[in-house]
Amino acid sequence: MKRTTIYLDPELELLLKLEARRSKKPVAEIIREVLRKGITPKRPRSRYAGAFDSGHTTDAERFEEVLEELGFGDPENS
């Protein structure tokens, strides 16, 4: 682990110390837990995300029609 320094206003310091006492954990551990919850790694977004649009917002409701449009279930395409 790497050591660092942070500056807290008095109210926040008091809340942190109270939480440490309540949870019976070191202040540093509480800070790490809060940071882990608050900072999540950003996954790279695919450059194709959102690139394709069916033009319909209810495809899940009309799945049979969509499958038919794509040729699934059509005896001529089997």
9 belongs to a structural domain: yes
pLDDT of residue 76: 61
Taking phi over 0 as left and psi of -120 to 50 as alpha, with beta for the rest, 39 belongs to beta
Token pair in block for residue 62: 């009309």
67 belongs to a structural domain: no
The reported pTM is 0.51
pLDDT of residue 75: 58
Domains of the chain: total? 1
68 belongs to a structural domain: no
Q: DSSP class of residue 57?
A: S
Q: Chunked in runs of 10, what are the mean pLDDT values of the chain (78 residues)?
A: 93 95 96 90 74 70 80 64
Return the closest-CA partner of residue 63 out of 52, 51, 73, 53. Answer: 73
Count of Cβ atoms closer than 10 Å to residue 10 Cβ: 7
**Domain coverage including residue 8:** 1-42
pLDDT of residue 54: 67
